[in-house]
């Protein structure tokens, strides 16, 4: 019976530690990136067709070196963007290139191979575009890293 009680105590300690680590990650993300929302934007410069996010994604070639999407109306290739709106009272915005999932994973993999780890602070200083694409595709930084792990196992 004592062994069982000890096991439960150990389990609750692990849960508390996990919750603390999660909170710490959220705090680090907010510290480096603030509160923001991402909005995809794709307007064909040739025919001025406004693409939906679904059309933007469908127009990607999944080539890690080709960042352009294809207009479904005229076939023109162009860069789509993510509009990042920072909710800091002034609603500052920035534009970054919207990448497909394969491009995002390939860039993550290159950084992982070069540095062995991909940190929030590093991305905030060196590759904000990559971080915003991770959030857009997987909803969170940890889920993006999990997608990388799965991608490396089953490319």
Mean pLDDT on 114-142: 89
- Quick one: 128 exposed, middle or buried, by C-beta within 10 A (0-12, 13-18, 19+)? middle
**Whole-prediction pTM:** 0.76
One domain for residues 58 and 133: yes
How does pLDDT run across 28-56, given as a tens digit for each residue? 666 656 678 889 999 999 999 999 999 99
One domain for residues 87 and 48: yes
> 141-153 and 2-33 are packed helices; what angle lies between their axes, rounded to 10 degrees?
100
Which tokens hold the place of 65?
């070196």
One domain for residues 74 and 143: yes
For residue 86, the model assigns a pLDDT of 83
pLDDT tier at 10, thresholds 50, 70, 90: very low
Domain of residue 102 covers 34-153
* Helix ranges restricted to H, 34-100: 53-59
Asked whether 148 and 108 are in contact (CB, 8 A), the reply is yes
One domain for residues 21 and 49: no
The percentage of the chain sitting over the pLDDT mark of 90, rounded to a whole number, equals: 49
Helix (H) or strand (E) holding 107: helix 101-115
- pLDDT at 21 exceeding the cut of 80: no
One domain for residues 69 and 116: yes
One domain for residues 126 and 140: yes
For residue 39, the model assigns a pLDDT of 92
Residue 92 exposure: Cα atoms within 13 Å on the Cβ side: 6
Q: Give the count of domains, the chain.
A: 2
One domain for residues 16 and 81: no
One domain for residues 26 and 93: no
For residue 78, the model assigns a pLDDT of 98
Neighbouring C-beta atoms of residue 110, cutoff 10 Å:
12
One domain for residues 131 and 69: yes
């Amino acid at each position: 019976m004592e062994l069982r009680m000890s096991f439960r105590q150990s389990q609750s300690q692990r849960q508390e530690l996990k919750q603390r680590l999660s909170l710490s990650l959220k705090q680090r993300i907010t510290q480096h990136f603030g509160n923001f929302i991402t909005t995809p934007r794709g307007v064909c410069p040739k025919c001025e067709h406004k693409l939906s996010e679904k059309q933007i994604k469908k127009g990607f070639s999944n080539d890690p070196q080709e960042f352009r999407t294809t207009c479904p109306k005229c076939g023109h290739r162009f860069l789509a963007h993510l509009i990042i709106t920072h909710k800091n009272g002034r609603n500052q915005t920035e534009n970054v290139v919207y990448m497909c999932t394969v491009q995002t994973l390939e860039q993550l993999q290159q950084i992982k191979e070069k540095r062995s780890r991909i940190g929030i602070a590093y991305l905030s200083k060196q590759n904000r575009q990559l971080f915003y694409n991770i959030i857009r595709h997987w909803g969170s930084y940890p889920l993006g890293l999990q997608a990388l792990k799965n991608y490396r196992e089953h490319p």
